[in-house]
Structure 1
Amino acid sequence: MDYLHPKLDDAAIARMSSLALAHVGDAVYEILVRTHLACGGTQTAKNLHSQTITLVRASAQAKAIEHILPDLTEEEETVYRHGRNAKPKTVPKSATVAEYAHATALEALFGWLYLKQRYDRINELFGRIAETF
């Protein structure tokens, strides 16, 4: 299996829970942020780390989704809605329940796009988000 570019059929992806998609999407989103920062000239490891933490926390992700939500396709909106309605067992103290729900939805969307191998769409949506950094 190619773990960097997994090839799952639509049925396998559809069987995944929203929280499973968010689990994958969390990593996808973080690598996008880390790459954006590293390629943007941020110098020190400490600075890279602190900026990454700021941009991947639930409150920042909740704001990020606002920039792309109007441009989502119907299919993407469905994934987003299911992710938002997922019921995680815990919510971090640094986020409200609403922020965490929107962050989980964003992560589910990016996980779903990644597993569907829609890399151009990931870049398009993340590019819109990165313009706000």
Structure 2
Amino acid sequence: MSDWIRGHPHSPGSSDLGVLQLAWLGDAVWELHQRLRHCRQPGRSDDLHRAVVAEVRADAQAIALQRLEPWLEDEEKALVRRGRNRAGRGPRSADAATYGQATGFETMVGWLFLHNPDRLAQLLDQLESTGQPSKQRFETP
């Protein structure tokens, strides 16, 4: 399902993006990935929308990150830390730890999308093989 990412060329000039810009981009990439996953399912658009929203919420992103942690390389872990440290408090609907983990996940996804789309596709494939994030529970460290 992540084959669309593998064809994405390296983006010149992307190295000067800040952490929050990478997180913003990563959020969009993650949402597009979820939309592509769900668009193959039958159903009304509002049902598909609700399914995607469940996957792009901060708690689902934090769970996705938690499931990927054993496979992350040191550089990817550093990106997650940078994003988590820049996250701020977040919305009232998410606690600060969950929001920080989600921002770290988005930062890593954004950076990988620009710099190493094959690696991003590998990680997304790993998530596919282990189930959907919204069906699990985030464990606060």
TM over 0.5: yes
**Residue 31 of structure 2 aligns with which residue?**
30
Q: How does 1:1-133 map to 2 (within 5 A)?
A: 5=9, 7-9=11-13, 12-13=14-15, 15-39=16-40, 41-88=41-88, 91-116=90-115, 118-130=116-128, 131-133=130-132
Once residues 126 and 101 of structure 1 are traced to their aligned partners in structure 2, the CA distance between those partners, rounded to angstroms, is: 20
**Identity across the alignment (%):** 33
What TM-score results when the alignment is normalised by the length of structure 1?
A: 0.84
1:25 to partner: Cα distance: 0.4
Once residues 101 and 83 of structure 2 are traced to their aligned partners in structure 1, the CA distance between those partners, rounded to angstroms, is: 8
Q: Which runs of 5+ in 2 are unaligned?
A: 1-7, 133-141
- Assess if the C-alpha contact under 8 Å between 2:87 and 2:103 holds in 1: no
CA RMSD of aligned residues (A): 1.7
3-state secondary structure, aligned to 1:112: helix
Q: Which runs of 5+ in 1 are unaligned?
A: none
